[in-house]
């Protein structure tokens, strides 16, 4: 990891080093709704980038997915393993960085992430790169804060560059660095979050569901 990633890892380790789960123990509701509509085949593999304490990956594992996480935080990994043990499932967890991670071609049936906010210079190049690791017909599901979230107090970065614009995000995730993707759902919505004290209240979000052609 580079110096910026190391600094970010330290910040997340501080957040996840407390006894409480920073964003709760339950899965993100948008991811839950979309993933519940899928029927995983035996040994179907799902990747959860930046899943921190593992709430989404652990829930998916209880639903039959072979769940894998990559994240910067060692403290997040510890909390994920504790949550997985409590639910009597296993999750494969890697300390890794989006920029430097190698993505195996056509490995996953699902990639799902919530609140995965990166600088735009990283996002536009490396988030589409992940999609090449989807199998044909595989799903990409995400939720993140929209740029109109900036004045609200229900969570999210306080930087426009770290927030999502839907048209730009779609252009990136279906553009030159991505494989051919079909749009199943793409919206900007107002929702009410109740994940934890860090994510609570009315929020403006981007919701995306793509499939690989």
pLDDT in tens, the chain (213 residues): 433 554 589 999 999 999 999 999 999 999 999 999 999 999 999 999 999 999 999 999 999 999 999 999 999 999 999 999 999 999 999 999 999 999 999 999 999 999 999 999 999 999 999 999 999 999 999 999 999 999 999 999 999 999 999 999 999 999 999 999 999 999 999 999 999 999 999 999 999 999 999
pTM recorded for the entire structure: 0.95
Residue 5, pLDDT score: 54
| Residue 9, H or E segment | helix 3-16
Residue 7, pLDDT score: 55
CA distance 112 to 55: 12
Residues linked to residue 49 through DSSP beta bridges, in sequence order: 70
CA distances from 185 to 64, 74, 84 (A): 24, 33, 30
| Dihedrals phi, psi of 88, to nearest 5 degrees | 60, 45
| Structural domains present in the chain | 3-137+166-178 (3.40.50.150)
Residue 200, pLDDT score: 97
Q: Which two tokens stand for residue 25?
A: 């123990």
Residue 6, pLDDT score: 47
CA distance 21 to 51: 12
């Amino acid at each position: 990891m580079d110096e910026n990633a190391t600094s970010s890892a330290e910040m997340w380790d501080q957040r996840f080093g407390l006894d409480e789960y920073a964003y709760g123990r339950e899965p993100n509701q948008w991811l839950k709704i979309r993933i519940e509509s899928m029927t995983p085949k035996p040994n179907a593999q799902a990747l959860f980038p930046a899943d921190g304490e593992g709430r989404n990956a652990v829930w998916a594992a209880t639903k039959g997915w072979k769940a894998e996480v990559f994240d910067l935080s060692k403290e997040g990994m510890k909390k994920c393993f504790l949550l997985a043990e409590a639910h009597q499932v296993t999750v494969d967890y890697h300390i890794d960085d989006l920029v430097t991670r190698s993505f195996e071609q056509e490995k996953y049936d699902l990639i799902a992430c919530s609140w995965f906010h990166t600088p735009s210079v990283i996002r536009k190049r490396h988030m589409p790169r992940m999609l090449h690791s989807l199998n044909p017909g595989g799903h990409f599901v995400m939720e993140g804060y929209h740029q109109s979230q900036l004045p609200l107090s229900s969570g999210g970065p306080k930087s426009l560059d770290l927030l999502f614009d839907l048209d730009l995000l779609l252009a990136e995730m279906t553009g030159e660095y991505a494989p051919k993707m079909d749009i199943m759902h793409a919206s900007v919505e107002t929702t009410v979050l109740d994940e934890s004290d860090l994510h609570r209240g009315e929020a403006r979000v981007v919701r995306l569901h793509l499939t690989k052609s």
